[in-house]
Structure formats: structure tokens, C-alpha cells
Amino acid sequence: MNRANDEDLFPESFLWGASTSAYQVEGSPLADGAGPSIWHRFVRTPGRVFGGQTGDVACDHYNRYREDVALMKELGLTTYRFSISWSRVLPEGTGRVNERGLDFYRRLVDELLAAGIAPNATLYHWDLPAALDDRGGWLNRDVADWFAEYGEVVFRALDDRVTMWATLNEPWVVTDGGYLHGPLAPGHKNLWEAPRATHNLLRAHARAVAAYRAAGRNRIGLVVNLEPKYAASDSPEDAAAVARADAYMNRQYLDPVFFGTYPQELIDGFGEAWPEFPASDLDEIKAPIDFLGINYYKRGITRADDSVIVERATRLDNDRATVTETGWEVFPEGLTNILTWTRDRYGDVPIYITENGAAFYDPPVAFNGRVEDPLRVDYLREHLRAVRAAMQQGVDVRGYYVWSLLDNFEWALGYAKRFGIIHVDYGTLQRTPKSSARYYAEVIKARKVL
């Protein structure tokens, strides 16, 4: 094989995976002694979720996990990223451990290992126990200790078989959607709450890392969603807006972890709503992590807007751009850019692409049993090329997880948008690999973008 082809190959140690989250795929949210989560409540609040849909059944992964693991093995996945439902394990959020809830994750991990697939477990993917929300949730400083207690329980149960852990998934979304703008559980809209939720999420992350250092023997990290910010024009006002947007989304959760400080633009943006936090908190938050998970979906085109605290992304006026069903521009080079930016700003921390995918219209299963999704195939191809480009520029990327393994419950959008590489018939729950799944399997086998 010639040198050019060698350089195109992903390393043999590179991890190839897919991601899901507990509430989106498991179903059976109260089974076997589990307690309700904030999402179990939120979906029952009129007007919150498209069509009044719920995750009560979702993909029924709770009962069909063996079938799903068999599909992962068939595709050649070497790793599977899932989240653990806090309220399955601790129905009241603290105290009493529900062993039957833990048993589900024991069975899942054992099934993965038997199939030669490495488990990658996330402690928190947005489904806070409702009992803890009743006590203030992420606004209560005690939540850091509650989270550490939960972490200790699952570390003791699973760390002998799970070698890769993440504390939080996308804490920015938890705060922005759950406490500032309100489209996600618990549905608050409060400028003063947002920075407190952010800070307590980071404190909880740090306490969980400390708990893991005391009891765990493998690796633990953090998963954030990042988005390169671009100015809508050449004006100084838009340039300043980009700096604020970058601080709010990209640096809000990473600067404290790596530097022990919050971005000044973030503090200035919240103004009097930003509280003074103890320096000891930030010292604690700056605990070393073993890896960083990056979720990437799109870039942000930012335009100055004096009527808001932090400018949100505006729509790109470009008729030639491919746009997903969620209205997101397909922009693969942004993934290369955010990876090199992360390396340049925070150093050579090992990186995993823990989510990357797109919602496109998928036709029904054809008579020949196939689902063709050419736009998703192209999306995966171009984003994998973007990952490889970053690696060739020296970024230490060690794995890639497509979002998502299965079509699933897409939060406030219900079942209206499909991200999966495996089609799920929500009436029968039949699984059908799409052409994107077959393409991904070919890439994994070849270890190169095809």
C-alpha cells in the first residue's frame, strides 16, 4: 500500500461507535422500581412536546437491548455510548439503591462485552430524578453531592467492565434549554437561574470526577456540544457578538474545567444576574479529566442584537447550503475547525467525537426491506473526512460516535425527526438498518472514508 493511502487510514486503535441516551431509547421509564425523571413529568405537561408524545415506549431498548446489540455487532461497531438513568438507580435521587434498575445496565454491559463492543457510559443525559427537582434540582448547591453519590453507586457496580465514563452530556443544553429559554425540562425561563445551574453542573461534574478518582480505575471525562461561531458580516458589532456567543456556548463549560475561570464576555453578558462564586469552587472544578467528548452538529452564524443577553445563531442566507430537517446547515469543515480550535486553546487532551449526525426525511421501509437515506450517507462521509483532516493536523481524535444508533424520541420534537442510522417503525418497533448504516459498516471495515 502506498504512503498516500496509509495516511488516509484511521488508526487501528480508533473507536467506531454510535450513541443513544436513556430516556430517548429505553422506554419503560417506571419499570422495576424506577422513579420518575423530570422528562417523565415534562412530556405530560400540555403543549411541551410535539403531539403530546412521550418516551414511555420510545424504542423499547429496555426490553430489546439484545436485538440492538446484535445489530451493533453486525455493523462492526467497536464501542457503544449510552447513558444511565439516574432515577432507575436511585428512585429518590439519593439514598435507597434500586438494584433492579442497576441490573438492566449490568445486563446491557455484559451483552456488549460478549459481542466485543466496548461500553461507554454517561452518567447524566438530561433526565434528573423528579424527586431532586422538587428539592431545587440544578439550582441547589447540594446537587453536586447528590450527583457524586449517584456516581459512586454506578462506579462500584460497573467500573470493572466499563472503561470509559462521562459525567455530563451537553451541560450547555441543560442550562440553555432547561433554565434560560425553557423548551426542555424542567422548562424554566429565568436569567438569574441560568448561571447558577451552569455552576452547579460543573461542581457536580467535579465531585463525580473526584469520586471516580477515589474508586475507579479507568477513564472519566466530560461531553460538551461545540459550535464554531462566524460573524454574519464584517461589522465590529458582529465581531463582538461572535466573541459573546463563543464565550456562552464554547467556553462557558471548558474554560472553568481547563483554566479555573469563566469567560469575561459571559460574566459581562449576564451582568447583575451573574453571581459571585467562591474561588474554592473554581479550584475544584479545574480537576483534570482523561478525555473530552465533543458533540458537533453545525456552525453558528452570529449577528449583533442589543435586545438579548447573548446572541443566538441566525440562519445563513445561502440557497446552496444543505439544511437538515431540524433547520441546521450542513457544514462539515466546521468540525475540523472546532477540533483544531479545541486543541489550540486547551492543549492535547484526547478527544472523541461523541455525537455527530443529522435528521433527514427517511422514506418508509421499501418492499425489499431497505431504507435509502443518501443525504445522511453524504453527511457521514463529509464529516468523517473533516475528522480525518483534523487528525492530519495533529489533533488527538481517538474515536467517532454517530448520532444516533436508532431513530428515537427527540425530546420536545417527539418522534417527528429521525436521526438514526437504523430505522425504527414506531408502530411495530421493527428495526431496519438504513443505507447510512451499511455505509458506516463499510467505513469501519476499511478504516477509511469511502
Catalytic-residue membership of 355? yes
C-alpha cell at 164: 470509559
Query: Which residue in 128, 81, 87 sits closest to 108, CA to CA?
Result: 81
Q: Is 116 exposed, middle or buried (0-12, 13-18, 19+ CB in 10 A)?
A: exposed
State the cell numbers at 407.
431513530
**The dihedral formed by the CA atoms of 8, 10, 12 and 13, expressed in degrees to the nearest 10:** 150
Residue type for 300, please?
A: G
Comparing CA positions, the residue from 358, 356, 225, 344 lying closest to residue 292 is 225
DSSP for 387-449 reads HHHHHHTT--EEEEEEE-SB----GGGTTSS---SEEE-TTT--EEEBHHHHHHHHHHHHTS-
Give the dihedral of Cα atoms 18, 19, 24, 30; nearest 10 deg.
110
Other beta carbons within 10 angstroms of residue 222's beta carbon come to 27
18-27 residues labelled b (16+ CB within 10 A) or e (exposed): bbbbbbbbbb
- Cell numbers 462566524 correspond to 230
Please tell me which residue in 227, 265, 284, 355 is annotated as part of the active site: 355
- C-alpha separations of 124 from 150, 205, 366, 393 in Å: 10, 10, 37, 32
Measured distance CA(114)–CA(323) in Å, rounded? 39
Identity of the residue numbered 330: V
Q: Do 61 and 25 contact (CB within 8 A), yes or no?
A: yes
Compute the distance between CA of residue 42 and CA of residue 33 in angstroms, rounded to an integer.
Answer: 20
Q: Rg of the Cα trace of the chain?
A: 21
Catalytic-labelled residue, pool 111, 170, 311, 410: 170
What's the rounded Cα separation, in Å, for the pair 418 and 316? Answer: 23
Active site positions, annotated: 170, 355
